[in-house]
Amino acid sequence: MSLALAPLDPRVEVEASLPCRKFDPDLWFSDSPTELELAKSLCGDCPLRVECLAGAVERAEPWGVWGGEIFERGAVVPRKRPRGRPRKEDLARDAALRVEAEARLAANGLAASRSAVRLAA
């Protein structure tokens, strides 16, 4: 059985405690990098964060925030870049954030190898 299909803990009041149910759902699918970072931060205390992330990885979600990670074209990205050519310091920060995103996925048992989850460059 996959982690995404594991039965929920019956003690969890699902609707009342999920941030994606409390706030505007469009926040999790925004084009604004700032709004996506807000959505990621709201996922931090979610009781279903790990299951949500596992399901998104299995489905290769095309976009949005799932389990506290940003997905773009089916890959986890450390942050959404604004339009235009990135600055050199942004590229360096993206490299550091990519390592951090890989560590978070590994901590949740979702990225034992790079082939398990594709991380966007």
What confidence tens digit (pLDDT) does each residue in 39-91 have?
999 998 888 999 999 999 999 999 999 999 999 988 888 877 666 776 777 77
Give the pLDDT score at 80: 76
C-alpha dihedral sign at 44, 49, 50, 53? negative
C-alpha 54/C-alpha 33 separation (Å) is 23
- pLDDT > 90 fraction of the chain, expressed in percent and rounded: 30
Mean pLDDT over 1-14 rounds to 49
Q: Higher-confidence residue: 76 or 121? A: 76
Task: Please give the model's pTM, rounded to 2 decimal places.
Answer: 0.60
Q: Does residue 4 have a pLDDT over 50? A: no
Per-residue b or e along 79-107, where b marks 16 or more CB atoms closer than 10 Å to that residue's CB: bbeeeeeeeeeeeeebeeebeebbebbee
C-alpha dihedral sign at 41, 42, 43, 45? positive
- Known binding-site residue numbers for [4Fe-4S] cluster: 20, 43, 46, 52
If pLDDT is split at 50, 70 and 90, which confidence band does 1 have?
very low
- The answer to whether 78 and 97 are in contact (CB under 8 A) is yes
C-alpha 65/C-alpha 90 separation (Å) is 21
- Known binding-site residue numbers: 20, 43, 46, 52
- The residues with which 64 forms a beta bridge, in sequence order, are 71
Nearest by Cα to 69 from 30, 104, 93: 104
